[in-house]
Amino acid sequence: MKLLPRLFSRRPAFSAALAPDQAFYAVGDVHGCDAQLERMLDTLAAGGHPTAALVMVGDYIDRGDESAAVLSRLFEIQQAAPQGQMICLKGNHEAMLLAFLDDPARNGPRWMRHGGLQTLASYRIAPPMRPDPADAWHAARDQLRAALGEDLELWLKALPTRWQSGNVLVAHAGAQPTLPVEAQPEDALLWGHPDFLTRCRTDGLWVVYGHYITDNPEPADGRIPVDSGAYATGRLTAALVEPGKASYIHSE
C-alpha cells in the first residue's frame, strides 16, 4: 500500500489593521508600585495626547509595598476625570481582595500567598496565618474594610472586566481566542486562557492585556502586552494605541 504524504494546513496569520475609535493609553500591572505609577502618569500627561483616554489594565495591588497609595491615587484621579476619560479595569488580584472581603477565612490564605500580605501591610494590618482561627481572619477583614472605606470598596466592586474601542479589546489577562467579546467568561478575562498566547483570533479583534510579564513587549499576532513586572523589575509599561500603530512608554 502506498502511503500518501500527510498534508498540514497552517492557521491563518492575524492580519487585521489596528483600528481603535480613539487613541488611548493602556498602563500595565502596577502591583503596589506607587512611585512608578506617579512617574508614568506625569509622563503620559506631558505626552502630547490630551484627548487620549487612559485605561488601567488591573492588578493595582499586592506584591509591591504601596498598594494603599496606589488605590487611593487611582480612585481620586478617576473620580475627578471627565466621564470616559479614565477607565480602571479589574485584575485577578482585585478579585482576590474582594473574595477575601466576602469570605476571609476561606479565601484569605490563597490571597496571602499571592501578595495579600503586602497589601494588608500597606494598610498597617497584621495578616493572619493559615492556622489562625476564623475569628482572626474576620478581624483582619473588618480592619481592611474600615481602612478602605465604603466608597473605595464600592469602586473596587464596580470595576469592569473589559473595555473596547473599535477593534481593540482591553482585558487584564486577555481573552479566550475562540469566543466573541460578549461571550467571554470572567475567568478568562481575569485569570487568562491556555490558548490566548498561542492562538490568533479570527475576528480581527486586537487584545491589549497585562497579567503575563513580558521582558520586551511588542505588538504581535493581534496581541499587545503591557505587563513588564513592575514589582520585580522596577519598570512600569504603557502602550499608546492609535489607528494603525502601537508604541510603548516605560517608567522606572
Query: Which cell goes with 213?
Result: 510579564
Number of Cβ atoms within 10 Å of the Cβ of 152 = 17
- The rounded percent of the chain whose pLDDT value lies above 90 is 88
Q: How much is the average pLDDT of 140-168?
A: 98
In this prediction, residue 119 carries a pLDDT of 98
Cα separation of the two ends of the chain: 65
Q: Which amino acid is at 158?
A: A
Residue 90 has pLDDT above 90, yes or no: yes
Q: Are 210 and 189 in contact (CB under 8 A)?
A: no
In the block, residue with C-alpha cell 493559615: 130
| Average pLDDT for the chain | 93
Dist. CA 63–CA 78, nearest whole Å: 23
Query: Which cell goes with 131?
Result: 492556622
Dist. CA 200–CA 220, nearest whole Å: 10
In this prediction, residue 12 carries a pLDDT of 55
Q: Which of 148, 147, 136 is nearest to 112 (CA)?
A: 136
Taken in order of first residue, the domains within the chain and their CATH numbers are 24-91+160-251 (3.60.21.10)
Ramachandran angles phi, psi of 26, nearest 5° = -120, 120
**HSE-CB for 39 with a 13 A CA cutoff:** 13
Q: How far is CA 209 from the centre of its chain?
A: 7
In this prediction, residue 9 carries a pLDDT of 40
pLDDT in tens, 29-71: 999 999 999 999 999 999 878 889 999 999 999 999 999 999 9
Q: Which amino acid is at 128?
A: P
